[in-house]
Amino acid sequence: MPPSPEGRRADLARVAELKAISPTRWRELYWSAAGGSPSVHALAVRFGVADRTVKRLLVAAGLRVRTYAEQQTLERRRGRWKEPATRPGNPRLGIWWEETPKHDPRRKRALANLKRGRRPGKNRRRETKPCGWCGAPVTRIPSQFTIAGAFCDRSCAAFLTAHMRYNPDRPRPLIIEALRTALGTRPPTWEHLEPLIERFGATEEEALLLADTLKP
Ligand SMILES: [Zn+2]
């Protein structure tokens, strides 16, 4: 159900109140031992906002957010740690096992695979392609590449979408940067550029454009 206008106003009011909290106070709330070393989630529940809102405000206050492992250590020390739900003896089945209905055939298959020590998908063929936005190598099961190509994550995909929309005639800046870095001090000849085009998924136009800018 979408949030009602009143509900959204109340949320925004809460966030505005949190934004008024000083960095010193945030430090007390989150980092001081007297504050109880609450997790980001605990603070979020206390203030009735999303986890990411608290995290954003902590970062804005110049504070470091504890890693999961650090928070876990503190939770254990303070006796607040609850073991995650797992099936006794078969920790690999985990929460999924608890949540999947008893009659679901996938349960039977998972248990059979576990007994035989098989890990489906672990031996699947994988391919590596350059990311369409930044050129970094992306390794996946072939079916997990999108139609548009390979991307590190949604962020890279979104950057390319925006780029194609507003600057369709310009080269992709990160690809150019990757080519330039890999080329190093070598002259921008076709002989040197060709293998890089494949490695970073650059177009010939992009490579030629770079060669032009590098010409003395
Ligand atoms: Zn990328």
Residues with CB under 5 A from ligand 1 (ion): 131, 133-134, 152, 156
In this predicted structure, what is the pLDDT of residue 89?
A: 55
Of 8-22, 33-47, 83-97, 192-206, give the lowest mean pLDDT range.
83-97
Top-confidence residue, 11 or 178: 178
Please, what is the end-to-end C-alpha distance for the chain in angstroms?
Answer: 62
CA of 153 to the centre of ligand 1 (A): 7
- Look up the pTM and report it: 0.48
The H or E element spanning position 160 is helix 154-166
CA of 142 to the centre of ligand 1 (A): 17
CA of 92 to the centre of ligand 1 (A): 31
In this predicted structure, what is the pLDDT of residue 98?
A: 78
Q: Pick left, alpha or beta for residue 139 (phi over 0 → left; psi -120 to 50 → alpha; otherwise beta).
A: beta
CA of 63 to the centre of ligand 1 (A): 28
Residue range 146-156, pLDDT digits in tens = 888 899 888 99
CA of 132 to the centre of ligand 1 (A): 7
Residue range 156-190, pLDDT digits in tens = 999 999 999 999 999 999 999 999 999 989 998 99
pLDDT at 60 over 60: yes
CA of 31 to the centre of ligand 1 (A): 34
Q: Taking all residues of the chain, what is their mean pLDDT, rounded to a whole number?
A: 87
In this predicted structure, what is the pLDDT of residue 11?
A: 82
- Give the whole-number percent of the chain exceeding pLDDT 70: 94
CA of 197 to the centre of ligand 1 (A): 16
* Residue keyed to tokens 């949540």: 99
In this predicted structure, what is the pLDDT of residue 18?
A: 93
Residue range 99-109, pLDDT digits in tens = 888 899 988 88
CA of 53 to the centre of ligand 1 (A): 26
CA of 69 to the centre of ligand 1 (A): 27
Contacting residues for 43 by C-beta, under 8 A, at least 6 apart: 29, 30, 54
CA of 143 to the centre of ligand 1 (A): 18
Of 71-85, 129-143, 157-171, 174-188, give the lowest mean pLDDT range.
71-85
In this predicted structure, what is the pLDDT of residue 46?
A: 93
CA of 42 to the centre of ligand 1 (A): 33
Rounded to whole angstroms, how far apart are CA atoms 11 and 198?
A: 49
Of 4-13, 22-31, 166-175, give the lowest mean pLDDT range.
4-13
Top-confidence residue, 123 or 209: 209
CA of 158 to the centre of ligand 1 (A): 10
Mean pLDDT over 136-142 rounds to 89
CA of 160 to the centre of ligand 1 (A): 9
